[in-house]
């Protein structure tokens, strides 16, 4: 076996491998057909003769680097052996300078892969539920008097900044949190693989930003949607505003003919899990989050 870096010449093979085996790992950020390796996305293949036996890629974009960590886009081998994973880990190790940790997800049921990760000193940090909404109907959501809820436009620089500041404040303390920046949110408007018209929602009480939600296209199921960055200001919790944001996010997905709708939530966030289940979401997958300290 040998490790080779992903280049323009073999990027298609890297994408093929990720698409084929992504379901055994984590499908959240699998590469698009246009994938090009960069300093922010260093990628490697594990090769034996003419066969591809594994792949590894880091996500080192600014929101992750600001938290002194990187996320594994993929870290997988069909060999399911410590030697194969050790070779892949050694390949991406030089790209972790200045970071404190890297982390990634595996389905809870993938015992062999989890043992390989644990043999390399990856430690279990938490469990995450991937929930799915399969109904094609959503309950009405009435915005209370004194509040306003509107989608943000690309030109609304102040609104986008408020959206990011509120999200970062609301959930900056949560395990696995990755912050949002105005540059990132603005760039999503140009990403046809992700952007959903009307999908960046900001709730205000008067002029005070109090709630956020972000609706985007699923990475694998292009006719499906995901809901992320769903949050309510701590001073405004317990007023039904989380339910309001959730229902409006679902309505945006359906308005854009996207179905089903997915979202992820830390298993320890019992109040959020309870809300989503009460609104009709069901459990799709339980993911184990592993961290490798540097």
Q: Does 292 reside within a domain?
A: no
11 and 137 assigned to the same domain? no
Q: Does 11 reside within a domain?
A: yes
Residue ending a domain, among 99, 121, 143, is 121
DSSP for residue 219: S
CA–CA separation, 173 and 220 (whole Å): 29
Looking at the 3D structure of the chain, how many domains does it have? 2
CATH assignment of the domain containing 194: 3.40.630.30
Its domain, for residue 51, covers 2-121
Q: Does 244 reside within a domain?
A: yes
264 and 222 assigned to the same domain? yes
At 115-168, the pLDDT tens digits run 999 999 999 999 999 999 999 999 999 999 999 999 999 999 999 999 999 999
Helix and strand totals (H; E) in the chain:
8, 12
Model's pTM, two decimal places?
0.85
94 and 141 assigned to the same domain? no
At 161-218, the pLDDT tens digits run 999 999 999 887 777 778 899 999 999 999 888 899 999 999 999 999 999 999 999 8
Interhelix angle for 270-278 vs 241-255, to 10°?
50
Q: How far is CA 285 from the centre of its chain?
A: 14
90 and 149 assigned to the same domain? no
Predicted local distance difference test score (pLDDT) of residue 59: 97
Rg (C-alpha) for the chain, rounded Å, is 20
CA–CA separation, 225 and 221 (whole Å): 8
Q: Give, in order, the Cα–Cα distances in Å from 212 to each of 20, 65, 140, 148, 231.
A: 34, 23, 18, 12, 5
Has residue 99 got a pLDDT over 80? yes
């Amino acid at each position: 076996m040998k490790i080779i870096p992903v280049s323009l010449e073999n990027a298609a093979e890297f994408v093929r491998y990720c698409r084929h085996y992504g379901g055994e790992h984590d499908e959240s950020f699998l590469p698009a057909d246009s994938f090009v390796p960069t300093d922010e996305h260093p990628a490697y293949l594990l090769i034996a003769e003419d066969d591809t036996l594994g792949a590894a890629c880091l996500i080192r974009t600014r929101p992750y680097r600001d938290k002194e960590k990187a996320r594994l886009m993929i870290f997988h081998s069909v060999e399911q052996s410590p030697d194969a994973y050790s070779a892949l880990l050694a390949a991406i190790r030089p790209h972790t300078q200045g970071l404190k940790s890297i982390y990634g997800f595996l389905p809870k049921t993938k015992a062999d892969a989890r043992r390989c990760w644990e043999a390399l000193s990856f430690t279990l940090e938490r469990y995450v539920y991937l929930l799915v909404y399969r109904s094609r109907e959503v309950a009405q959501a009435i915005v209370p008097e004194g509040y306003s809820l509107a989608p943000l436009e690309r030109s609304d620089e102040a609104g986008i900044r408020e959206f990011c500041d509120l999200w970062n404040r609301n959930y900056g303390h949560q395990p696995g949190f990755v912050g949002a920046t105005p540059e990132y949110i603005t760039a999503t408007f140009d990403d046809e693989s992700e952007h959903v018209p009307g999908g960046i929602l900001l709730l205000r009480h008067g002029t005070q930003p109090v709630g956020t939600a972000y609706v985007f296209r699923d990475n694998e199921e292009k006719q499906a949607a995901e809901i992320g960055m769903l949050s309510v200001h701590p001073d405004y919790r317990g007023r039904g505003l989380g339910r309001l944001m959730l229902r409006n996010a679902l309505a945006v997905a359906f308005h854009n003919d996207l179905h089903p709708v997915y979202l992820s939530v830390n298993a320890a966030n019992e109040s959020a899990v309870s809300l989503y289940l009460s609104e009709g979401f069901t459990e799709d997958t339980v993911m184990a989050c592993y961290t490798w300290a540097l």
